Amino acid sequence: MNSKKQNRKEKLSKEIIGEVIRASSTEFETQCYDLYGFPPLGSLVLSDDENPIFGIVSHSVTESLDPSRTPRPRGPGLADVKSIYQESPQLKNLLNSRFTSITVGYIQSQTVVRKLSPVPPKILSITRISTESELIEFSSNFDFVARLLNSSFASSDDVLASFLSIAARLRPEPDQYLIDTGKEIASLLPGQMRRVNLILRNASI
Interface residues toward another protein, by CB under 8 A: 175, 178-179, 182-183, 185-187, 190-194, 196-197, 200-201, 204
Task: Output 112 or 168, the one with its CB closest to another protein.
Answer: 168
Q: Compute how many other C-beta atoms are within 10 angstroms of the C-beta atom of residue 33.
A: 14
Q: Are 142 and 181 in contact (CB under 8 A)?
A: yes
E strands within 11-147?
Answer: 16-23, 27-32, 44-47, 53-64, 95-108, 111-113, 126-129
Rounded CA separation 53/45 (Å): 8
Q: Which residues pair with 97 in a beta bridge?
A: 62
Q: Are 205 and 165 in contact (CB under 8 A)?
A: yes
Residues in Cβ contact with 139 at an 8 Å cutoff, skipping those fewer than 6 apart: 44, 163, 167, 170
